[in-house]
Structure formats: C-alpha cells, structure tokens
Amino acid sequence: MPITCAYRLLAEGKDLPWWHHLVSGSRDTIHQIGVSVRGKIEYEKEIDLDDLEDHVVDWFDQPWMVD
C-alpha cells in the first residue's frame, strides 16, 4: 500500500493528513490545493507503448507526501 493510504496510516497508528476528506470534511480539498492527480494523468491507451516510460511519474518527492 502507498505510504499515503488511509488504511495503512490508521493501522500504523498515524494521523491522516489535514487534506484527507475524512479530516477536512470535503472531498474537494485535495483538488483545491493541488495534491490530487486530477489533470495530471494520461490514459495509457492514448500513449504509444514505445513512449510509455516517458510518462511515468515518481510522486514520492512531493512535499505533501506523508513520511
């Protein structure tokens, strides 16, 4: 599971990030502050398979990731 997975965080006794909808009370918070993938993804069916590696993104260096 990703380090930001709510189930994982709770199982490890950690708090959810402030932007999580269970904390903020709104599913729009992540989109409003820009920490969702909305508008940042492409469907792999629309990408030439030879170029697929050029579209892989490593999200783990983002400041909003939870340690």
List pLDDT tens digits, range 23-65.
999 999 999 988 888 888 888 888 888 988 887 877 666 666 6
Q: How many domains does the chain have?
A: 1
Q: Is pLDDT at 66 greater than 60 in this prediction?
A: no
Quick check: is 15 in a domain? yes
Quick check: is 61 in a domain? no
Q: Give residues with Cβ within 8 angstroms of 46, minimum separation 6.
A: none
According to the model, what pLDDT value does residue 52 have?
83
According to the model, what pLDDT value does residue 57 have?
75
Burial of 53 (0-12, 13-18, 19+ CB in 10 A): exposed
pTM of the model: 0.62
Quick check: is 1 in a domain? no
| Domain ranges, residue 22 | 6-56
Quick check: is 18 in a domain? yes
According to the model, what pLDDT value does residue 61 have?
66
